[in-house]
Structure 1
Amino acid sequence: MAWNQPGNGNNNDRDPWKNQGGRDQGPPDLDEAIKNLLGKLGLGGNKGKGGGSNKTGGGFPARGFGVIAIIAVAIWFIAGFYTVKEAERGVVLRFGQYHNLVESGLHWRPLFVDSVQTVDVSNVQQFQSEGFMLTQDENVVHVELDVQYRIVNPRDYLYAVENADNSLAQATDSALRYVVGHTTMDEVLTVGREAVRQNTLELLENIIAPYQLGIQVVDINLLPARPPEAVKDAFDDAIAAQEDEQRFIREAEAYAREIEPLARGQVRRVLQEAQAYREQVVLKAQGEVARFNELLPQYKAAPQVTRERLYIETLENIYSNTAKVMVDVEGSNNMMYLPLDKILEKQRASEQPARNEASSTNSRPTESVQPSSSTTTRSNNSGIRTSDRFNDGRG
């Protein structure tokens, strides 16, 4: 019957908070309601209308333990799922001991039995090693080295050493200090930077190999080194001087490449001239020998005449090459001086108009001056022949 059913004048008997018998009891007890609910679920409390209970030793019933166990197993199973990212690998530990390595994707592990640690194996990581270091020539220089590496073995990376990243940083610092300590400051600052980088990379790989860090060094980059700030200006001047030295060397090399071909050409020309002179002297000597061989039978046939002839021809040769002649007068202590140079100048001056006239009339100069210079020409010709004969005879 509804609460407000028509025709019922006394609605107090229909109060939902009252019993059917009309006795007012107030709101229901909250504890009683919970016990009734648990009883219906089989977890204890009052069961049915009789309010009886089925308890085992005062605890939860056996059915309640089963439900709780099922719920706990479901939660444990669901919590065992985990995901490994694309760039990572998972290291599975079973009871704290290495079990296996899993790839990226969705995986399941028994919770509280296995634990998983993920490691990024795809991305390249980097760090910097820097500090003031002593060079071979006992100078201090500030060096910075950028190291790039990636993880290739997650198990070794996590468990071979206590901290693989820290171990790599210490090995890098040791390798860099060793290489810089065996290199001069000029090489570290200028031309030897690439050699320092290569030597440091090779030494670093040799150092970390026995430790099995699970790390592969991809590359290292030696940043520009610099001296301490207190002496930076002096080092800048020294570097500028070294750059000027290199520039001067390149300019000198360019000048040498320009001059060397000319010098080689001159050398070849001098060698050719020397070769020609040698051939000339050899041929002339052979000609002198031939003339001497021709003169020798005449000398054997008439030695006195040949000797006087050679003497006269020799004097002609000598006088033809000098402008001053001293004549010893026989029977007198006086010597006569003949100014042949003045005589020759007058003769050339007298011959010049005749040459000009011959040149204007397109005549040969030798024909126009031949009469006036016949004596000199004969003397010169005889002098040349006398010289040759004298040399033949003297040789």
Structure 2
Amino acid sequence: MAKRNDKCLPRGVARFGLMVVLAAFDSNALAQSSVSLYGEIDASAVWANNVHGGHQFQLASGLIDGSFWGMQGSEDLGGGSHATFRLERGFSVATGTDQNDHPYYVGLANDKYGALTLGHQYDSIHDYLAPFTLTGGNGGTAFAHPFDNDNANNSWLARNSIKYTSSSFDGLSVGGMYAFSNAAGQFADNRAYSIGANYGNGDFSAGAAWLHTDGRGSTEGGAYDAVTLPGTTRNTFDASVQTQNTFGIGASQVFGPFTLAASWTRSIYGGITDTETGLPARAVAFDNYEINGTWQAGASLSLSGMYTYTKGTYAHWNQGAVQAGYTLTKRTDTYIEAIYQCASAGAPAVINSIMASSRSSQLLFAAGIRHRF
């Protein structure tokens, strides 16, 4: 076979030919790939009582979703398979500080068999159960159950995690996650795993999930950080937990412009140690019973409300909340909301996203604006 003699070609022609080949290669790659930049900015003015014995006025960041920016992309691998990634970073629009409360991962997905992803991710409670609570829907952050004890508001994301999410089979989808401890010789110390399932048929949907952790908060860089719990000598404290089990079920039904949903979750924390004092604390469990509804009152106006009863080991909490949202454009909306929570047995009221109450009750009013890009 004769060799090609590039010396016979003018240098400019050879260089131009190389550029054409590279351009064609890049165009082909871009045609099979997609990358998008997106985000959300949410800010609100908040009034709350019983904070250090007085009223608190503040500018808060994200009483619904939180503020964040993100990138996600997909590359077509052929045969219905794709390489995917997602990178998000939260921030406070009020202070400008970073918040590590959003996912970032990379993985492979197939249209038929589902997706396998690795990184910093939501667990099965978020994926399959939270949508039946108002905090996991349009209600947002402040509508979480006391201490977000069941993670329905995804206050914690699992580090070092590998997750599988199936495609939908006649309305049924399933998934599971395992988060490694990453500690040498301590495989089960600060690890986590979860499973969940969701079923949808027309206007009816239902879901269930279970999350288990071992040695939560006991190591740096493990699956989860310590968790905030109610105390007996202090209102709240950060706790490392030897075993945590959170599980529950939920369902929703759509009636024209009205959606009615209900959920039950149970969270059990055992082997508790106060991270500040190093002293052991009693085990605690929470049962959360919630009913909520959303009415699309018009093309731009939506009204939502919820009631939750939380039965704890040595106290219980009642929480009621309402929210009105008004859409200005496809990307911008405003909202107002009110939340009231009261606790028994001297336990603190703790409305999510603000400081714990200095008494057994707390009331919050907020008005905000949210923009998506």
Question: What range describes the TM-score normalised by the shorter chain of this pair?
Answer: under 0.3
Which protein is bigger by CA-based radius of gyration?
1
Q: Which has the higher contact order (CA 8 A, sep 6+)?
A: 2
